[in-house]
Chain A
Amino acid sequence: MAYQEDPILEEVTNKDYEFGFVTDIEVDKVRNGLDEDIIRLISSKKNEPQWLLDWRLEAFDIWKKMTEPEWAHVNYEKPDFQAISYYAAPKKKPKLNSLDEVDPELRKTMDKLGISLEEQKRLSGVAVDFVMDSVSVATSFKEKLAELGIIFMSMSEAVQEHPELVRKYIGKVVPRTDNFYAALNSAVFTDGSFCYIPKGVRCPMELSTYFRINEAGTGQFERTLVVAEQGSYVSYLEGCTAPQRDENQLHAAVVELIAMDDAEIKYSTVQNWYPGDEEGKGGVFNFVTKRGLCDGRNSKISWTQVETGSAVTWKYPSCILKGENSIGEFYSVAVTNNFQQADTGTKMIHLGKNTKSTIISKGISAGKSQNSYRGLVKIQKSAKNARNFSQCDSLLMGDRCGAHTFPYIEVDNNTAKVEHEATTSKIGEDQLFYCMQRGIDEEKAISLIVNGYAKEVLNKLPMEFAVEAQKLLAISLEGSVG
């Protein structure tokens, strides 16, 4: 059918990135480049113990022997690793006891993002560990959590205060040899979050971290570690925005989750980093290794992600289901627009008996973007009666974008039950016409249809996040009809 989509697609491309601003804070930044000296410098700036420096240096050796992977369905100019500064910390390093001591410029930044700490504080039950260019500057609710024995702090602090825990678990789920970017992260990570829930404790609030990339040309190498001891529960929220930049910015984080017997970890992400402009210039490269280990019996790890940002995304939050009866879940909405490229999905590795996994992936492509789902379901010989259900849906807006599905299934145990469903649909001009005939304006109609499509996943997000995610979907796709 003859449908006018070009003017509308043009309109999308004219939508400016709302969070494109740079905070003017004095920054302590190391020279560009990557070598042993830089790693030693980072480690000494952070006053790290010898074992961690050694661990970093070993990772650097491993990384040097690796080559950058190329198998993903993405196309980009590879970063020059020697042109990046691997450490940037605000110079006026604040020791904060209250919000009033936060740098006013930073406060303004947070206000622009709509996540001012006052607001966050008022939101019942959200503790925020605000990470800005590699160093945590404000942590709230810490005391309240401490009463329960919950440790929630920046990775740097954890290294100082709980070195035995960090040493025990770091690299356990994502070893340094795992992949190119994990090795790089292990060598140069500057900060991140550390979260430890003791035995039998149900964390009473959502733990939340907002990441921001700020200093131009600074790579971000976050390291997050969440450990849930036996019978504990935690819901962790990660939200991200980055200011507008011309040059591509590299982000290679590592997130490790460990759930012991009967423990449950929910990890939710809303990511809207700068996706680049309408010509595909600029934007964040997001190459993240996220993996959870269901170590104990009856443990459960759920990943929920809403991805609307970044120029190139390469990310597979995964679960290793080692404990008997353990459960892994992956719920994802990935939106790409303009020239964005996303290759994302999950890996569910079944090792234990009666392990179960569920994958619900909803891709939405608009503009000239490419959106790929790549997933592996692996049932090892030891995983008797393992079950998986996968559903991968793709929604196309316009006819210049692409959606791809690459499901890999490896089954080594014939008692396994694996189901896979996939659909591809085009956002119907007939659906839009129907909505508009009822008096609903076009933008709202798109938002309705897209949110309806993504509902299964959005429903998995904690309340406060779900609202933000819905708005984000509407903003990301504003005007993109096809």
Chain B
Amino acid sequence: MISIENLHAEIEGNQILKGLNLKINEGEVHAIMGPNGSGKSTLASVLAGDENYEVTEGNVSFLGEDILEMSVEDRARAGLFLAFQYPVEIPGVSNINFLKTAINDIRNSQGLEDIPAKEFLSKVKEKSKLVELDGRLTNRSVNEGFSGGEKKRNEIFHMAMLEPKFAILDETDSGLDIDALKIVSNGVNAMRDTKRSFLVITHYQRLLDHIVPDFVHVLYDGKIIKTGDKTLALELEEKGYDWITESVAV
């Protein structure tokens, strides 16, 4: 699905990613954990194409294409989705209109016609149920006046509507209470299949109780320093990061 090699990236001259390697195959769920400032969100932003970050070295191949050469929207159209840590508000633009525009832009880029209204509406109905999103919220302006939890659920709703091939969840669990966490996790789990891959960025092991990963990576100082299975997350929860970071410190 995606192959990241020796990725270096900086923002305003500060080197954040310092040679990151990661390969995710079809249908796999990878979790990335790590202390604050280790580069987790930078990785998400760089993959999505945020121009505030400059890639100084390395390659990223997504479905065989050099993603670093692609624009933000072309990456999205190729099937890359980012669930934002801080979803933005777009006043006056209804969530529905927004999604319809997005779906049609993606379809048009693939040479397809606009989605028929009926098909779109039944999709909205089906997918909003998935994250138990109130019909009211789907008609309101994008994220405007949504609570923190509603914003995160809305991200998952967007993901369900756009049906990406590869989704990055950037701290989607932060700020969620346990019920919302379950709803979000159920939404993600419902979308797991043998083709679709996920990269789950989180601080907390508890999310991984619900979204069970195939691999857990520890990101520290811009590099992946340890990889394990789901038990690694439990170990981190118990012992913190020091025992690993100390072992790599020279």
Chain A residues engaging chain B, CB cutoff 8 angstroms: 1-4, 428, 430-431, 433-442, 444, 448-449, 451-456
Pairwise interchain contact A3-B51, C-beta atoms closer than 8 A? yes
Pairwise interchain contact B109-A439, C-beta atoms closer than 8 A? yes
Known contacts A3-B52, A452-B91, A453-B92; is A440 also within 8 Å of B105 by CB? yes
Pairwise interchain contact A439-B92, C-beta atoms closer than 8 A? no
Known contacts A4-B51, A440-B101; is A452 also within 8 Å of B77 by CB? no
Pairwise interchain contact A428-B51, C-beta atoms closer than 8 A? no
Measured CB to CB, the nearest residue on chain B to A430 is: B88
Contacts of B97 in A (CB 8 A): 448
12 contacts between A and B (CB under 8 A): A1-B52, A435-B98, A436-B49, A436-B72, A437-B84, A439-B76, A442-B73, A444-B105, A449-B90, A452-B91, A452-B93, A454-B92
Interface residues of B, CB < 8 Å — how many?
A: 34
| Bound: A2/B50 CA distance, A | 11
Q: Given contact pairs A439-B102, A439-B105, enumerate 5 new A-B contacts (beta carbons under 8 Å).
A: A4-B51, A433-B51, A439-B73, A440-B102, A444-B105
Contacts of A448 in B (CB 8 A): 90, 93, 97-98, 101
Pairwise interchain contact B72-A431, C-beta atoms closer than 8 A? no
Contacts of A453 in B (CB 8 A): 91-92
Pairwise interchain contact B51-A435, C-beta atoms closer than 8 A? no
B48 within 8 A of A: yes
Pairwise interchain contact A433-B50, C-beta atoms closer than 8 A? yes
Pairwise interchain contact B73-A455, C-beta atoms closer than 8 A? no
Contacts of A3 in B (CB 8 A): 51-52
Contacts of B93 in A (CB 8 A): 448-449, 451-452
Measured CB to CB, the nearest residue on chain B to A425 is: B91
Which one of B50, B73, B91 contacts A440 once the chains associate, using CB atoms below 8 Å?
Answer: B73
Pairwise interchain contact B90-A434, C-beta atoms closer than 8 A? yes
Contacts of A2 in B (CB 8 A): 11-12, 52
B141 within 8 A of A: yes
| Bound: A430/B98 CA distance, A | 15
Contacts of B12 in A (CB 8 A): 1-2
Contacts of A430 in B (CB 8 A): 88
Closest CB in chain B relative to A292 CB, distance in Å? 27
| Bound: A456/B93 CA distance, A | 11
Which one of B48, B50, B71, B101 contacts A444 once the chains associate, using CB atoms below 8 Å?
Answer: B101
Pairwise interchain contact A428-B88, C-beta atoms closer than 8 A? yes
Contacts of A434 in B (CB 8 A): 84, 87-88, 90
Measured CB to CB, the nearest residue on chain B to A438 is: B102
B30 within 8 A of A: no
B17 within 8 A of A: no
Contacts of A431 in B (CB 8 A): 88, 90
Measured CB to CB, the nearest residue on chain A to B92 is: A452
Q: Which 5 A-B pairs have CB atoms at the shortest separation, nearest pair first?
A: A452-B92, A452-B93, A455-B92, A439-B76, A438-B102
Closest CB in chain B relative to A11 CB, distance in Å? 15
Pairwise interchain contact B77-A439, C-beta atoms closer than 8 A? yes
Pairwise interchain contact A438-B92, C-beta atoms closer than 8 A? no
Known contacts A1-B52, A439-B102, A440-B102; is A456 also within 8 Å of B90 by CB? no
Contacts of B63 in A (CB 8 A): none
Contacts of B75 in A (CB 8 A): 437
